[in-house]
Structure 1
Amino acid sequence: MSGTFGHRLRRFRQERKMTMEQLAEAVGVSKSYIWALENNPEQRVQRTSATVMNSLAKALGVNLLDLMGEAPPEALGDDANPEDIMFFRSYMDLAGEDKETYRQMLELFRKQKDK
């Protein structure tokens, strides 16, 4: 995923139509802390605890790897969009029977589309 941590954090927050205040409340930090993460992440992220990072990811409904900007899985390629990467990572975290349910649902959608 491209961009700095601050850009990703802001993008995820805005995509969810959350204010800095709402995110701060959900995570248990101050609005100024969120502001610093979005606008001065180089200094702030280094001192941010794993608990806060996990809370940010949970509040935003994203995987920690997506929030941190880890490269997408090779199978998706470098040009995969962020939503596909998040979906793939979420899918990979599912239990086996849940994955099978998703595959069956996808097949039903494909059949409906082909009609």
Structure 2
Amino acid sequence: MASPLGEKIKHLRNSKGLSLEQLAQMTDSSKSYLWELENREQANPSLEKINKLAVALDVTAEFLVSSPEPTPNNKVADEAFFRKYQLLPDLEKKKLRKILDAWEDE
């Protein structure tokens, strides 16, 4: 029986159309490690691994480890988006701000 964490990871991975191999590459993990997380009852990944999974799956680490909900809500999606935004180079941030400004002008 999978842990709640494992069920969330598997659900999110499948909903994004990612294979274990693709998610493994995105998170610097092995396929077998991810399989263990998804399918074993006791899953104890490191905080670093949780954060990498959260970024790859477009959710927050808090959602993965503590939310009782199986799928993220809009608040979780917004927080995940903002975290990705913060990691962008300044030039990319500037481009996104211009896009948002253009929408505001309409």
Same fold, judged at TM 0.5 (above):
yes
Paired position in structure 2 for 1:5: 5
Match of 1:21 in 2: 21
Please tell me the residue identity of whatever aligns with 2:74: D
* Aligned-pair Cα RMSD in Å: 3.4
Aligned to 1:57: 54
Aligned-residue identity in percent: 29
2-structure distance, mates of 1:7, 1:71: 11
Aligned partner of 1:28: which letter? Answer: D
Q: Deviations over 1:65-110 (max 9, x none)?
A: 11113258xxxxxxxx623242354588799xxxxxx8xx7xx8xx
Q: In 2, distance between residues paired with 1:88 and 1:55? A: 17
* Residues matched between the structures, number: 92
Q: Which has the larger radius of gyration?
A: 1
- Cα deviation 1:30-61 (Å, max 9, x = unaligned): 10100000000x3232xx21111111111111
Distance 1:91 1:25 in 2: 20
Note the 1:31-110 alignment, pairs <5 A: 31-40=31-40, 42-45=41-44, 48-70=45-67, 82-87=72-77, 89-90=79-80
Instruction: Give 2:97's aligned residue.
Output: none
Q: Distance in 1 between matches of 2:81 and 2:34?
A: 29
